[in-house]
Structure 1
């Protein structure tokens, strides 16, 4: 007679982005949180509603049907659990990132996403300390139920290099607005020609929001996707400043010129400094290239003007995000 076989439960693992390399928007990876979480009682995805309705618990982001979104107070799961409710003490199975979704992390990025009605939210994972900090920053209730986790579980989900601060939000990417909509906003525009580092793009978004830019435009193929690392570097600016994706940078510059925008490319080899250009009273599109390659030939040829930043200290180049900040300040100063 054969002895009965014993087994142990399996675990599923997914991956999602951790930070990329300093100069490239590289692949991201990480393990999912540990095993042992209970599935929803009815076996269905609690985020989905019937056809035509809003996502369960997250309604109101798309403006259709379903009534008011359900909102949750910090610590509500623990109180429900103590009272015999069905709340879960931590993440349920399936922490792998659903197709098309991403994990945002860090207090600034998550708080801004929670406050953005255009962002579709799925899950909010927090440590006890991070939940209290979030409540101090953004007054509850929130439109997604917080799930309490240990910091190590977030390390496993996001990767140990992700500075998450004990908080992560699963969300859908924002929709890309058309160029015409961005032109309706006041302020200069920034066009990034094959800038591939997500941290640089995020930092440029942050500076652009700080100096009142209308939008940031990147190339569709040679630019980072919306990721947690990009959103973390943007420090909330991703939720307030449009990020557009252009199939062809040169054609986009031509469209901007047709809309009476003066297109200025930053090029270290230009003869004219930015401070010497007649910027006052003009709508400006500032074009920046990758740190090592700079602007491509066709991009340079399409600009109305090429200029450089004056650097009397002896350095002949800056990080692209630092160059964007200096140039935005100069444009704003000349248009006061």
Structure 2
């Protein structure tokens, strides 16, 4: 019957879903994508590439500091650190701590040097020193500020002297580091260089062993020791390494009075292979008994004394 939409085939049905309009499925596609990124924010734009290149060529910080402060815990260690001139931010004493001679001496030195003296609860002092045996007394040491290796050359130039730099190759004992710093200061070196990793750093123990010399001579850190030695060579320095099997004995070293970098190896293994290969010359310290050996601190002191005599 005409107009009967209920009969079979009266309405053609489509298998496709109805097309959505601008208010339907495609609305998201019509929405704006926000402001156009600036040129230096677009990875494919030349301005972006230029900005990234500038970041890579930016000068590195000339100085870096250790990340955390250090604590000296215990009455004797704190008093010894105060006597030796170790830089201390503040001295902490636990409430109710027994006032003996060491505590009174610590108070007196701190007052004389203008170091802050703070009284805290024993539990708080336990927390600050990470549970160390502090005996009611502790001292806070600031992060050490390392020089840049190039600063040591600048220091020599300012003093009008040929550079003399001591480089330590993986020396891990902070007392040896402190001893080397003390000898370097005493024999006219312009600084000490240590690796950033797997080596002793300027801790309280190194400060104390240096007997205050760490405040008079810069200590620098190098990310790659071999690369830094090559940089010193490019700057005109001869690099000499101490080695038991060195081809030249220390008294016959004829490079002592020129720009010189003295490399001292680790306590057990001596110079690493790459460092030894980079040295211009390997020098030995003559010994009466070949079985005997010197630790890093003593070996550096002997060599620096010989170099100082040659320069004089």
1:271 aligns with 2:239: no
Equivalent residue number for residue 209 of structure 2: 233
- The CA deviation at 1:148 is 9.6
SS at match of 1:145: strand
Check whether the contact 1:214–1:242 (CA below 8 A) recurs between aligned residues.
Answer: yes
Equivalent residue number for residue 140 of structure 2: 170
SS at match of 1:286: strand
Check whether the contact 2:149–2:221 (CA below 8 A) recurs between aligned residues.
Answer: no
Q: 1:256 aligns with which of 215, 224, 232?
A: 232
**Whole-angstrom distance in 1 between the partners of 2:149 and 2:101:** 41
For residues 267-311 of structure 1, give each alpha carbon's deviation from its aligned partner in whole angstroms, at most 9, with x where no partner exists: 111121011111343122110111221111111111111110011
**Whole-angstrom distance in 2 between the partners of 1:265 and 1:234:** 22
**Whole-angstrom distance in 2 between the partners of 1:134 and 1:273:** 47
| 1:182-261 correspondence runs (5 A) | 182-186=152-156, 188-261=164-237
Q: 1:100 aligns with which of 68, 86, 91?
A: 68
Equivalent residue number for residue 125 of structure 1: 92
- The CA deviation at 1:130 is 4.1
**Whole-angstrom distance in 1 between the partners of 2:253 and 2:109:** 42
| Structure with a larger share of its residues in helix | 2
Give the unaligned 5+ runs of structure 2.
Answer: 1-66, 94-98, 157-162
SS at match of 1:250: helix
- Residue 278 and residue 208 in structure 1: after superposition, are their counterparts in 2 closer, same or farther (change >3 A)? same
**Whole-angstrom distance in 1 between the partners of 2:139 and 2:68:** 14
Between 1:196-205 and 1:99-108, the stretch displaced more is 99-108
SS at match of 2:209: helix
Q: 1:308 aligns with which of 261, 279, 284?
A: 284
Which is greater in Rg?
2
Check whether the contact 1:194–1:289 (CA below 8 A) recurs between aligned residues.
Answer: yes
**Whole-angstrom distance in 1 between the partners of 2:209 and 2:132:** 16
- The CA deviation at 1:217 is 0.8
Q: TM-score scaled by structure 1?
A: 0.58
For residues 79-127 of structure 1, give each alpha carbon's deviation from its aligned partner in whole angstroms, at most 9, with x where no partner exists: xxxxxxxxxxxxxxxxxxxx7111255556435244xxxxxx5421366
**Whole-angstrom distance in 1 between the partners of 2:235 and 2:103:** 46
**Whole-angstrom distance in 2 between the partners of 1:232 and 1:142:** 19
For residues 27-65 of structure 1, give each alpha carbon's deviation from its aligned partner in whole angstroms, at most 9, with x where no partner exists: xxxxxxxxxxxxxxxxxxxxxxxxxxxxxxxxxxxxxxx
- Residue 185 and residue 258 in structure 1: after superposition, are their counterparts in 2 closer, same or farther (change >3 A)? same
Check whether the contact 1:215–1:244 (CA below 8 A) recurs between aligned residues.
Answer: yes
1:328 aligns with 2:304: yes
Q: TM-score scaled by structure 2?
A: 0.62
- The CA deviation at 1:227 is 2.1
SS at match of 1:140: helix
Check whether the contact 1:263–1:303 (CA below 8 A) recurs between aligned residues.
Answer: yes
Runs of 4+ more than 6 Å apart: 135-139
CA RMSD between the two structures:
3.2
SS at match of 2:208: helix
Check whether the contact 1:260–1:283 (CA below 8 A) recurs between aligned residues.
Answer: yes
**Whole-angstrom distance in 1 between the partners of 2:201 and 2:166:** 17
For residues 231-287 of structure 1, give each alpha carbon's deviation from its aligned partner in whole angstroms, at most 9, with x where no partner exists: 222222222221211111111101111222211000111121011111343122110
